[in-house]
Amino acid sequence: MKKNILKIIIIIVCFAFVLIVALQKPETSFENASEQTEDGTEGMQTSEPVSEEEEEQVVTPQIELVNNPELRVLIKSDDFSKDIHETVKVSSDEDFTLLGEDGTVLAEYNAWEIVNLDSFQLKENETLIFDSEGTITLHSLTRAQGTPTYYGKMQIYKEAEGYTVINIVPMEEYLLTVVPSEMLSTYPLEALKAQAICARSYAYHYVLGEPALPRNAHMNDSTDFQVYNNIQETEATNLAVQETEGMILVKDGLPVPTYFFSTSCGFTTNETVWKEYFGGKEWEDGEAPTVAYKVGEAEDVRDISFAPIAVAKPEAVEAISTDSGVGILYTAEALAQEANFRAYMKSDASDFLENEEQWYRWTYQGTISSEGIEKRLVARYAARPDLILTYDKTSDSYVNQEVGEVGTITNIEVVKRLPGGVADELLIETDKGTYLVIGEYNIRYVLSDGVSEVVRNDGSAVTVSNLLPSAYFIIEPETNFSDTLGTIMLSGGGYGHGVGMSQNGAKQAALNGMTCEEILGLFYSGLELKEVK
C-alpha cells in the first residue's frame, strides 16, 4: 500500500514538472525579434522557409521613455557664434556648491557670490560642476533677455582655447525658456501648448540619440536645434508647458523631431528640403563627394514623417482659377509644377489661415552681380560640395567640382520644386559656365545680396541679411540678367524652411477656435500624441 502511494506521488510530481516546463514562455530579445508577430506576441516557429518579404520586415524596438529626463545642453557664446567661451563667471540666487567631476565637494559659496573660473587655473580637460537648489547665472554671457539664468547644474570643461559650458537640466524646466524663445508669449494658449509639445518631442528625440556634439551634449541652445533661454519664461508659456507635461508626438512608439518654422505661404513641404540623403548616400563630414546629376533627377528619400499640407481655413475652395481659366487643385503635390505654383502665388489666396500675417507674402528686388554670385557659390560649395554642381559638357551632366570664374550671368530659373512649391533646384547660366544649386537653404543664400530690402505683406520693408525669407518664390519677368550688374525680382511667401508646424499658422488656427490637439493634427498627420508618465 505504501509503495503504491509513493508511486502515485512520484507520478504526480513528474507530471507537474512537465506541465510547468511546457507552459513556460521563452524570453524574447531584439536578437530574435524576427520571431515575433506584428502585435508583439510570439509567433509559431515552423520549418517553412522564410520569404524575402518577411526577411525585410523591420521590428521597431520598444523603448521605455523616462518622464522628465535630464538634458545636456551646450551653451554657445554671445550671439550663438561659438561653442567655446573665453571666460566663465557664475553665481546663484541661493547658496551653491562646486563639485569635481567625480562629485566630490570642492567648495561652497554664498548666494550671489560671483565665481570667475579663470581664478582656478584649470588644466586642459579638467571639469568643474556648479550645483544649486536655485538658478545659476552666467555673468559672462549675453542673450536677448540680458544676462541669462539657468535651472539645473552647470558642467564646465577647460579647453585649450577657453571653456565648454554644459547645462544639465530636467526636460520640463528646459522647456520653460524654450517655448518663449521660439514663440511669442502673447499667442493664444492653444498655440503655445502645441509649441510646447513640439519642443518636448524634438528634445526627446535627441535625448534618445547618440550625442554628436562636444562633451556629449544632446543639443545646443541655438537655431541649430531649438532656441533655449534667449527669452525669459513667462506666465503664459509656463502654463502651456505645465498643461502639456509629458506629452509628445511619436511614430511607431518613438518620439519624432517635430520641426516647426515661422510662417507658411499657405503650404508646407516635407523634410527632403534638407538633402541629408542626396542620391541615396549620406555624406560624411570632410568627405569630398563626386557626383554626376541630371536636372530634376529623383532622389532617394528615406522615411518621410511630415506630409506637405495646405494651411487653409475649413471653408477653403477646392480650386483656384488661372489667367487661362483653368482651375488647379489646392494640393501641395500640384504646386510642385512651376505653372501651378506661379498661378497660386498670383492668386488672391485669402482663404488661407495666414493671409494677414506679415510674412505671408513678400517681394524682393536684389542685385545680381558676377562677383556676388561667385562669392556665394564658393561659400556654399565649401559647406556642401555635393549640392553646388557645375555642368560638364563631356558627360552631359552636373558634376561636383570647385566653382571657377562665374562670368556674366545670362539666366536664373527654378528647374525643380518640391510639393508645396518650395524651390529645390536653381539653374544659373553664365557666359563661362552653368551651375546647379540644390536645396532650399543654398538657394536662399545664393540669391540674397545681403543688403536689399524685402517688402512684406503689410507694406513694411526689412533687410534680411544673408538669407531670403524662404524658397517659396517665383522669379518675375522684370528680372534683368543681361548686364554684368543685373537685378532679380522675386514674389514670395512665408518665412523659414516650411517643414512641420507653421507657428503663425498655429496662432491663426487657435484664433479660429482649434484646440492644441487639432492644431497638431493639422500639421503632423500620422503621428500619435502620447503622455510619458
pLDDT in tens, 352-407: 899 999 999 999 999 999 999 999 999 999 998 989 999 999 989 999 999 999 99
Lowest mean pLDDT among 2-11, 24-33, 187-196, 324-333: 24-33
Give the DSSP letter of residue 83: S
395-427: string of b/e by CB count within 10 Å (b at 16+)? eebbebeebeebebbeebebebbbbbbbbbbbb
Q: Cell for 143?
A: 542673450
CA distances in angstroms from 207 to 124, 199, 211, 419, listed in the order given: 27, 12, 8, 31
**What pLDDT score was predicted for residue 482?**
66
Q: Which residues lie closer than 8 Å to 242 by C-beta, 6 or more apart?
A: none
> For residues 532 and 208, what is the distance between their CA atoms, to the nearest angstrom?
14
Query: Mean pLDDT, to the nearest integer, of 455-461?
Result: 96
Q: Is-contact 501 260, C-beta < 8 A?
A: yes
Q: What are the domain boundaries of the chain?
A: 70-255, 319-492
Contact present, 335 and 320 (Cβ < 8 Å): no
pLDDT of residue 483: 56
The per-residue pLDDT for 210 is 84
Residue 61 has pLDDT above 80, yes or no: no
Q: Reduce the secondary structure of 282-298 to three states and give it as a string.
A: CCCCCCCCCCEECCCCC
Task: Give the model's pLDDT for residue 50.
Answer: 36
Pairwise CA distance, residues 361 & 274, whole Å: 23
Per-residue confidence (pLDDT) for residue 29, from 0 to 100: 27
Q: Which of 148, 156, 211 shows the shortest CA–CA distance to 176?
A: 148
| 3-class DSSP assignment, residue 36 | strand
**How many Å apart are CA 454 and CA 360, to the nearest integer?**
12
Q: What is the largest CA-CA distance in the chain?
A: 118
Across the range 318-336, mean pLDDT stands at 62
Residue 88 pLDDT exceeds 80? yes
pLDDT at 303: 66
Give the bridge partners for 277, in sequence order.
none
pLDDT at position 278, please?
58
Whether the per-residue pLDDT at 448 is higher than 80: the answer is: yes
- Which pLDDT score is estimated for 351? 82
What are the strands of the beta sheet with 153-158, ordered from one edge? 105-109, 96-100, 127-132, 153-158, 163-170, 70-75, 219-220
Residue appearing with cell numbers 505645465: 242
Closest CA to 437 of 461, 405, 413: 413
Q: How many CA atoms lie within 13 A of 326 on its CB side?
A: 5
Dump pLDDT digits (tens) for 252-299: 889 999 999 999 999 999 988 888 755 546 666 666 677 788 877 766
Tell me what pLDDT residue 485 has.
61
- Please tell me the total number of residues recorded for the chain in this structure: 533
Nearest to 135 by CA among 124, 120, 149: 149
Q: Are strands 89-92 and 327-329 parallel, antiparallel or unpaired?
A: unpaired
Angle at 411 between CA 406 and CA 417, to 5 degrees: 110
Is the pLDDT assigned to residue 437 strictly greater than 50?
yes
